[in-house]
Amino acid sequence: MKVTVVGAGAVGASCAEYIALKNFTSEVVLVDIKEGFAEGKAMDLMQCASLNGFDTKITGTTGDYSKTAGSKVAVITSGIPRKPGMTREELIGINAGIVKDVTANLVKHSPDVIIIVVSNPMDTMAYLVHKTSGLPKERIIGMGGALDSARFKYRLAEALDCPISDVDGMVLAAHSDTGMLPLTSKATRNGVAVSEFLSAEKLVEVEEATKVGGATLTKLLGTSAWYAPGAAVSVLVQSIVCDQKKMIPCSVMLDGEYGESNICVGVPCIIGKNGIEKIINISLTDSEKEKFATAAKAVRDVNGDLGF
């Protein structure tokens, strides 16, 4: 099965690497606008194949979308990342044009494609893909919750001083510093509510550290992160390609779910060979409902800048 990754930068190359390492698909095509860049990244990654033991074929192209024809999944990572001190929302001016163009090229050559949107501001870019691609809503998935939930689990395990595999938790709502909703009420350690182990103050600290997880890394790295984003994308792609039907929080077009419509924000979804196979409605506390609505309103305001 063919998987295309547009943008061979930090995040795109990391996506291609993790997808290849997991060896579940036959081909990955990397696309970039920078002359020779995707070809170079593909060659470098292919020279890992015998060392790391994968058979996935990775190729690169400078903007020739005919090479992406027949892709089952396409991941859009093209665009600029934020610099320290910037919000994801500040990227909209440049990234909207790039994402719109890339989407048109992908759909032209792969009309049955499932698109995973990564470029920021991600919830708004997913909405843009809905408004411009003509694809059914089941085939447009925004990647944010998978990464933010992994960051939440990292912070929970740190606070609990326990292995990460012992904790579970999800982050819903917006992929933004203020709009993320880590569900502390439902987070568990081996099935036991984390509130049994952590004080209310500590839980607020975990929540806050999770919400600024991306900004913390941007400050340290001088640009946004790439390992965990690439790994998060690979989990989504594998759930589609292998029809695993994993439940993963994704930014999807809502039609009344969680009290919202005509907006993409993060909710728990079953991801399988058809893309979003089901949106799962879980019960939220009154405070979580209020935070979800506030986050959705902020995303709607940013969507307004697209002019639809």
Write out the two tokens for 10. 């930090």
119, 124, 238, 303: which one contacts ligand NAI (CB under 6 A)?
119
Catalytic-labelled residue, pool 139, 153, 155, 175: 175
**Residue with smaller CB distance to ligand NAI, 35 or 112:** 35
Count the residues of the shown chain that bind ligand NAI, applying the rule CB under 6 A.
Answer: 36
**Does the footprint of ligand NAI cover residue 107 (CB under 6 A)?**
no
The residue assigned the tokens 């001190």 is 85
How many CB atoms within 10 Å of residue 172?
28
- Using the rule CB under 6 A, is 173 a contact of ligand NAI? no
257 phi and psi angles, rounded to 5 deg: -65, 145
Q: Is 299 in the site for ligand NAI (CB under 6 A)?
A: no
Helix runs in 23-141, H state only: 37-46, 49-52, 92-109, 122-133
Pick the closer one to ligand NAI by CB: 37 or 292: 37
What single string gives the DSSP state of each residue in 188-208? Answer: EETTEEGGGTS-HHHHHHHHH
The yes or no reply on residue 213 touching ligand NAI (CB under 6 A) is: no
For residue 8, state whether it binds ligand NAI (rule: CB under 6 A). yes
Residue 25, amino acid: T
User: Per rule CB under 6 A, is residue 224 in the interface with ligand NAI?
Assistant: yes
Check binding of 122 to ligand NAI (CB under 6 A). yes
Reference 109, options 151, 149, 144, 67; nearest CA is 67
Q: Which of 298, 307, 308, 276 is nearest to 123 (CA)?
A: 298
Question: Minimal CA–CA distance to 121: which of 113, 129, 111?
Answer: 129
Contact 299, 122 (CB under 8 A): no
Task: List the binding residues.
Answer: 7-12, 32, 82, 88, 95, 118-120, 151
Residue 175 designated active-site = yes
Among 16, 18, 19, 82, binds ligand NAI (CB under 6 A): 82
Region from 80-88, 149-157, 176-184, 274-282 binding ligand NAI, contact rule CB under 6 A: 80-88
Sign of the Cα pseudo-torsion (260, 258, 303, 110, in order): negative
Query: Partners of 142 in the beta sheet?
Result: 117, 251
Instruction: Name the residue nearer to ligand NAI (CB basis): 25 or 77.
Output: 77
Of residues 139 through 168, those in contact with ligand NAI by CB under 6 A are 143-144, 147
Q: Is 10 in the site for ligand NAI (CB under 6 A)?
A: yes
Tell whether residue 12 is a contact of ligand NAI (CB under 6 A). Answer: yes
| Closest alpha carbon to 234 in 51, 7, 9, 17 | 17
The site for ligand NAI (CB under 6 A) is made up of 6-12, 31-34, 37, 77-82, 91, 95, 98, 101-102, 118-120, 122, 143-144, 147, 175, 223-226, 229
The residues that are catalytic are: 175
